[in-house]
Amino acid sequence: MEKKKRIVIALGGNALGNTLPEQMKAVKITSRAIVDLIEEGCEVVVAHGNGPQVGMVNNAMIALTHEDPQQPNTPLSVCVAMSQAYIGYDLQNALREELLNRGIEDIPVATMITQVRVDPDDPAFQTPSKPIGRFLTKEQADLMAEKYDYIMKEDAGRGYRRVVASPKPQEIIEIGTIRTMVNSGDLVIACGGGGIPVTRQGNHLKGASAVIDKDFASCLLAKELDADFLIILTAVEKAAINYGKPGEKWLDDITVDEAKQYIEEGHFAPGSMLPKVQAAVEFAESKPGRQALITLLEKAKDGILGKTGTRIHL
């Protein structure tokens, strides 16, 4: 019997919606695309972002401190944990339902609340750049900075937002349990929102005020699980060079070296396509035979079959 292809899928925000009702609808579509891959004979592990969701949780926790002065401010690491749990709840229910609808009854689905260790000396902590939460006026931003010691930055003329560090993931704390579950045939949802950022202090894991890029966390997860494929889902079918400019070219099949050259030439936007291509390159070059794919959610199956998407390999 041929060994199943092991795939780690990194779901972007567009696969989850921006509100609870949107998420309930979005995960049904997402689940269909994931179960399509399972029907193709793939073994799937799911990771996801949490951009809108962690901002929503953070705002709700701040509102609570305004209502009840006795309530302390909720650390960002706890907000990430909350977002992991409620996204996982919707995703695992939708996946279970889709599997049963197709007569697949032997694949348990479970969410692992996942901590990811970061380096407290990561340079990202010196230059926080990842915006979270809603837009505020200058007065509101100054109040938040004074009250909670938040770093607030003006965002493209739209108002002020809190910015936090985005350090690189170093270690997935629960990887042993995740590996055991995956090896036993479970469909596992892990590293939600890039993982709960923690630093090690002896035997204690302390939550960090940061968010980890979900593409880099998914790359680490894929390497640790010895996956064959890392699929990074995004809002376009393929990556491109000269995107939106004269000479625009959609990329189909490229080597790691070609991808690195395009990165060097500045073809991919920071905070958008750049981290996706960087994570794809990191995975593809980590071991012969590993491939990364960047494509749309609904094109994931076609991508695995070689029909579309940007495929990166050695």
Residues annotated as catalytic (active site), given as ranges: 13-14, 130, 214, 276
Residues 273/251, Cβ–Cβ less than 8 Å: no
* Burial class of residue 68, CB neighbours in 10 A (0-12, 13-18, 19+): exposed
Q: DSSP class of residue 127? A: S
Neighbouring CB atoms inside 10 A of 236's CB total: 16
Nearest to 299 by CA among 5, 6, 9: 9
- Distance from first CA to last CA of the chain, Å, rounded? 27
Cβ neighbours, 10 Å, residue 31: 24
- Check residue 165 and report its DSSP letter: B
**Residue 38 near residue 107, CB atoms below 8 Å:** yes
Helix axes 273-284, 256-264, angle to 10 degrees: 150
Classify residue 134 as exposed, middle or buried by CB count within 10 Å of its CB (0-12, 13-18, 19+).
middle
How far does Cα 280 stand from its chain's mean position?
A: 13
How distant, in Å, are the alpha carbons of 42, 197, 226, 279 from that of 222? 14, 18, 6, 11
